[in-house]
Chain A
């Protein structure tokens, strides 16, 4: 078992995921339509209702569309992470997950490769979204587009590993609707994606605390600062720790000796 085996397998998994994404045109379009509706409809409507004070990383007054752009980037990655986990449940039900699991590589490596593949797809979506937003004059400094790449990688890995963890618990595809209601919506709305922390504090301390400790908020802030060439250390550490915690739990979940796989029997 040499290093080239690992390399080829990882690229094989990433290539397959990216190829599937670009050839499934409907999936590509729907992944973009969601944040664009939020940007062009929701944010435009809220522009006058919300006043935003100057707060880092912004150095001047900004439009609401500018504020929620990193939040919508987070939304793309959140939905993509959950979509990946949905496809894992689907693959497991349909059997193609078995092909991956019986190949002679450590299971943690296969899961990590699958996660990297999902993250690569989400980054692809984010850059297309940012290009469209730029046409709409929602612009960041040019170098910001480069700085967000590592931030997007980490936040994509964190949200993807959460999806992976959930997929190890979900027995059937039908149970996935619960993920929408109990994970995606609370994570998105109880975060700094749509409104800054200080604004949330004005209305509810509890909500402020929940938003503050929500790993999704930290991922959004990491991206927000990176987009303006700044490094948010707290957000980085928090997102990294959340990734490690979710990933470790997901690996345990997929371990046949310890995790959920022992309980996923079914009929013989």
Chain B
């Protein structure tokens, strides 16, 4: 399938009580690839995600999801969006199945279709056998897998992931990073992944480096290295953010 722009952001600014969190940022995200949003704490990543998901109002600038303006065509835009938030959002006292069914209900899916999609997504993440277990009984990595499965149930075009591997061990992180990269390529989904872990970047990923609410660099790894005259992406990141920790 031909790639197209799933997310377009133009001149977006946002302030908290006069303090600028995002300052006139513009970029586009294409389907079929992963775009890593890198930035130290306080760079504006979570604010950007809150604006894309319409938890905050867009007052300055424009956000379009698959051609739908998030402010004017909110529901059409949100129907195209799958999100994994940084904080866990599963109901611990419900089973995997019950959590996913709740999500399919919110997206208005008929029961049969919902069952098929749940099976499909859980099988892809090796979680189908555990569908009747309560979330409380699962470890952090498995909970994240359930959240990713949930975000994909309604077959979104854009998948937002806000630091989904924070607090996970190395094997769990590897499974998730690898799965999401394959997903983007195989399903022609656009992925916007906020991260502060440089080892999660693959060679052909797009990078956006955000610092103090401004975009410092964007492009594939080679382009970012060229702009910064750096040998590694770690060096490039440090020079763009004046040495602040990611």
A interface, CB within 8 angstroms of B: 1-2, 4-6, 8-9, 11-13, 15-16, 19-20, 23-24, 94-96, 98-106, 256-257, 261-262, 265-268
Contact = CB atoms under 8 A, between A and B. Distances in A.
Given A95-B88, A257-B71, A268-B45, 12 more contacts: A1-B108, A12-B104, A16-B102, A94-B87, A98-B53, A99-B83, A99-B85, A101-B54, A104-B76, A256-B57, A261-B56, A268-B42
Interface in B63-104: 71, 74-76, 78-79, 81, 83, 85-91, 93-94, 98, 101-104
B57 A105 contact: no
A108 B59 CA distance: 21
A261 B53 CA distance: 13
A105 B53 contact: no
B78 A103 contact: yes
A19, A104, A261: most-surrounded residue (chain B CB, <10 A): A104
B45 A20 contact: no
A261 B59 CA distance: 13
Given A5-B108, A20-B91, A262 B57 contact: yes
Contacts of A256: 54-57
Contacts of A13: 105-106
A1 B68 CA distance: 15
Contact of B106 (A1, A100, A257): A100
B108 A2 contact: yes
16 contacts: A1-B108, A8-B108, A9-B107, A20-B93, A20-B94, A96-B89, A99-B103, A100-B106, A101-B55, A104-B76, A106-B75, A265-B16, A265-B21, A265-B47, A268-B45, A268-B48
Contacts of B141: none
A contact patch SS: helix
Contacts of B44: 268
A92 to B, nearest CB: 10
B159 interface: no
Contact of A102 (B17, B83, B93): B83
Contact of B79 (A4, A15, A104, A267): A104
The list of the 4 closest CB pairs from A to B, nearest first, reads A12-B105, A5-B108, A95-B87, A268-B47
Contacts of B22: 268
A1 to B, nearest CB: 6
B91 A16 contact: yes
Nearest to A113: B106
Contacts of B87: 94-95, 98
A115 to B, nearest CB: 16
Given A102-B54, A267-B46, A268-B46, A11 B78 contact: no
B43 A268 contact: yes
A60 B182 CA distance: 76
A8 B47 contact: no
Nearest to B52: A102
A266 B44 CA distance: 11
A261 B109 CA distance: 29
Given A12-B106, A16-B102, A95 B89 contact: yes
A222 to B, nearest CB: 32
Nearest to A96: B89
A13 B104 CA distance: 11
Nearest to A9: B106
Contacts of A9: 105-108
A33 to B, nearest CB: 21
A107 to B, nearest CB: 9
A40 B71 CA distance: 55
A8 B45 contact: no
Contacts of A20: 91, 93-94
B94 A19 contact: yes
Contact of B57 (A94, A102, A257): A257
B107 A103 contact: yes
A116 to B, nearest CB: 14
B85 A95 contact: yes
A256 to B, nearest CB: 4
Nearest to A24: B93
Given A16-B102, A101-B55, A1 B89 contact: no
Contacts of A24: 93
Given A104-B79, A256-B57, A267-B42, A96 B47 contact: no
A98 B86 CA distance: 11
Nearest to A12: B105
A96 B41 CA distance: 23
B108 A102 contact: no
Contacts of A16: 91, 94, 98, 102
Contacts of B83: 98-99, 102
A99 to B, nearest CB: 5
